[in-house]
Amino acid sequence: MEKKFMPDVDYINYQPDINKKMRSILIDWLIDVHNKFKLVSKTLFLTVNIIDRFLTIKSISRQKLQLLGISAMLIASKYEEIYAPETRDFVYITDSAYTKEDIFRMENLICETLKYDFSSPSLLNILVYNMKRNQENKSTICLSWYCAEITLLEYYILKYPPSLVAFVIILFVKKILNKYCKIKNYEFSFMLEKNFNDIDNNIENCENLIKANIILSQNEKHKLTASKRKYCAKKYAEISNAKYSIYFA
């Protein structure tokens, strides 16, 4: 089920006009848009999944990358939100760089390309399920969500299925918060065994990737700051204000 909705980790190599940096800049901007529209978290994760799956199949110019992003968010909003933003809201947020007709055409192209199939098992859904099941506290939940959102900007995280990334994030967060993680209480084992033969090596590589992105997000010179700004709010326990690099020494 997971593999069906996983994009090709090499797709960027076949895109003639865009690169990994452009993808990261787009997603960072979409996090700000998502926050401005006060959308549910599921919408953001579905948006990124739609973008990556579309780019696995279709090539796009850099001039239309932002159009792809807002159109993907419009589709995800219709799928996840009770009250989705309207097309005109996305025209406004791009300062009229695109018309309603542009968005309608891109929306239709996305739907046809992905065959209207947007029921992907997201990283966030797996995290939320396991957090509720184990009655985790606010700090654990917020730090897990922060880590998950930071990984959206990392192109190479696409190599790993959502179940493995969720598993690694929980282990990672437990280490930081000095808590022991009873793995048997989390429902990952079957999914991991089904997707990977070398579990330990993939867990280590995935964790190193997440660590690197957390450290990068806290670098004062880093320009992609949407998640850090978002998670410094009190409703997220000001979780992004902590200096996590001290845990990785």
The stretches of the chain forming alpha helices (DSSP H) are: 20-36, 41-57, 65-80, 87-93, 100-113, 123-133, 138-151, 162-176, 189-195, 199-217, 226-230
Range of the domain at 25: 14-113
Closest CA to 153 of 216, 205, 86: 216
User: Do 25 and 91 fall into the same domain?
Assistant: yes
Determine how many CB atoms are found less than 10 A away from the CB of residue 90.
24
User: Do 141 and 239 fall into the same domain?
Assistant: yes
Residue 7 is assigned to a structural domain of this protein: no
Residue 8 is assigned to a structural domain of this protein: no
pLDDT per residue as tens digits for the range 44-91: 999 999 999 999 999 999 999 999 999 999 999 999 999 999 999 999
User: Do 137 and 214 fall into the same domain?
Assistant: yes
User: Do 109 and 173 fall into the same domain?
Assistant: no
Domain boundary residue, one of 113, 146, 179: 113
31-40, 70-79, 179-188, 217-226: least confidently modelled range: 179-188
pLDDT per residue as tens digits for the range 88-127: 999 999 999 999 999 999 999 999 999 999 988 788 888 8
- Please say if the pLDDT value at position 227 is more than 50: yes
For residue 145, what is the domain's CATH number?
1.10.472.10
In the chain, the number of structural domains is 2
User: Do 42 and 86 fall into the same domain?
Assistant: yes
**What pLDDT does residue 180 have?**
44
With cut-offs at 50, 70 and 90, classify the pLDDT of residue 245: low
Domain boundary residue, one of 94, 113, 132: 113
- Please say if the pLDDT value at position 181 is more than 90: no
